[in-house]
Amino acid sequence: VHGSELSSIELAYELVKQSEQKTPAHNVIIIPSLFPDNAFAANDDSTSIGSTKNTGRYTSDITADPNRQMPSLGKAFDIRQPLDSMERVIELENTLLLQLVQTFRPNLIISLHATRSSAYSGVFADPRADHNSIALGFEEDSTLATSLAALIERNGGIADGNHLFAKPTAVYVNDPPIAPKGFLQQRNFKGSVLNNKRGEGVSLGSWASTAVCDSIDNRDAITILTVEFPGSKRVKDAKTILEKKNISVQLAAYTKAIIQLLRKPELFPIKKIDG
Ligand SMILES: [Zn+2]
């Protein structure tokens, strides 16, 4: 999603490679790089990879955060009017992603990101809700997220944001509390602080985990896990042998855990589609 997070693209390519070797139990579509031009920009500014300069995170100084360009909650993507929840034109790459989701109706989305601080790394879930944002219950998806985090840690990876040894959580650090089933679920509409509210809007996590019901589409809430890989550097971006070893260990741990999840159908049973 964010071109600056080059490690997450490397992770996606590893998943492509390994899922070709070990057939997953499900049909899997992998988009290794949603905003390839942004990733190229990050790659070209090689001394800034992983820094707060964030080269490649945004397409330009006037476009919204790529992860804040989704339609309003409960509303379908409309190709004839490709506007996000704040009436901005959705970038082409996201219109393709939205059409893919609406066409294939995945049971599970795993959104790959990277975080500068490993304290926030791990696997997080957005609480599913109906098209009116009424919570549907979080237990199943939070268990899935923390199970994946546990697999990562068992493989030697860091998933500190899940606090598995203190108070396990699948809620991302800035997200509002989880509403009990049957109550209104609040969402975080404010991401990074940027000019012209470019960091604000509906994220993929909020949009996908909310059911859609309008004249264009009708779908259930989708289980979505957001993976935050520790650090944005790829193995080849490491400056020292030790750093190279550390990134390699994280890459192997995250890849193996996701492949393990995709090979275990019982870990995410196929939900019935209503209507
Ligand atoms: Zn990101």
Q: Is the pLDDT of residue 270 over 60?
A: no
Q: How far is the CA of 227 from the centre of ligand 1 (A)?
A: 9
pTM across the whole model = 0.95
Confidence of residue 146 (pLDDT cuts 50, 70, 90): very high
Under DSSP, is residue 50 helix (H, G, I), strand (E, B) or coil?
coil
Cα–ligand 1 centroid distance for 189 (angstroms): 15
Question: What's the pLDDT score for residue 157?
Answer: 98
Span from the CA of 165 to the centroid of ligand 1 (angstroms) = 25
- The predicted pLDDT at position 275 comes to 37
Does 211 have pLDDT greater than 60? yes
d(CA 194, CA 192): 6
pLDDT in tens, 71-105: 999 999 999 999 999 999 999 999 999 999 999 99
Quote the CA–CA distance of 3 and 248 in Å, as a whole number: 20
Ligand 1 mean position, distance from CA 4 (Å): 8
Q: Does the structure show a pLDDT above 90 at 236?
A: yes
| 122-150 mean pLDDT | 97
CA of 5 to the centre of ligand 1 (A): 6
Tell how far the Cα of 175 is from the centroid of ligand 1, in angstroms.
15
**Of 268 and 127, which is predicted with more confidence?**
127
Q: How far is the CA of 67 from the centre of ligand 1 (A)?
A: 7
Please say if the pLDDT value at position 267 is more than 70: no
Residue 272 alpha carbon to ligand 1 centre in Å: 30
Find the 146 Cα to ligand 1 centroid distance in Å. Answer: 19
Task: Reduce the DSSP state of residue 190 to 3 states and report it.
Answer: strand
96 C-alpha to ligand 1 centroid (Å): 18
Mean pLDDT value across residues 228-241: 97
| Ligand 1 center from residue 214 Cα (angstroms) | 29
Q: How far apart are CA 177 and CA 249, in angstroms?
A: 32
- DSSP three-state, residue 99: helix
Please check the confidence at residue 31 and state whether its pLDDT lies above 80: yes
Give the whole-angstrom CA distance, residue 128 versus residue 205: 9
Q: How far is the CA of 115 from the centre of ligand 1 (A)?
A: 7
Higher pLDDT, 92 or 46: 92
Q: In this model, does residue 64 exceed pLDDT 70?
A: yes
Cα(86) to ligand 1 centroid in Å equals: 20
pLDDT of residue 37: 98
**How far, in Å, is the centroid of ligand 1 from the Cα of 111?**
9
Mean pLDDT for the chain? Answer: 94
Looking at the chain, the whole-number percentage of residues with pLDDT higher than 70 is 96
pLDDT greater than 50 at residue 246: yes
Give the model's pLDDT for residue 135.
98
Within a 13 Å sphere around the CA of 265, how many CA atoms are in the beta-carbon half? 7
Tokens of 180: 């009990």
- CA 179–ligand 1 middle distance (angstroms): 25
pLDDT value of residue 111? 98
**How remote is the CA of residue 230 from the centroid of ligand 1, in Å?**
11
Dist. CA 153–CA 249, nearest whole Å: 11
Residue with tokens 């800035």: 174
What's the one-letter identity of residue 253? A
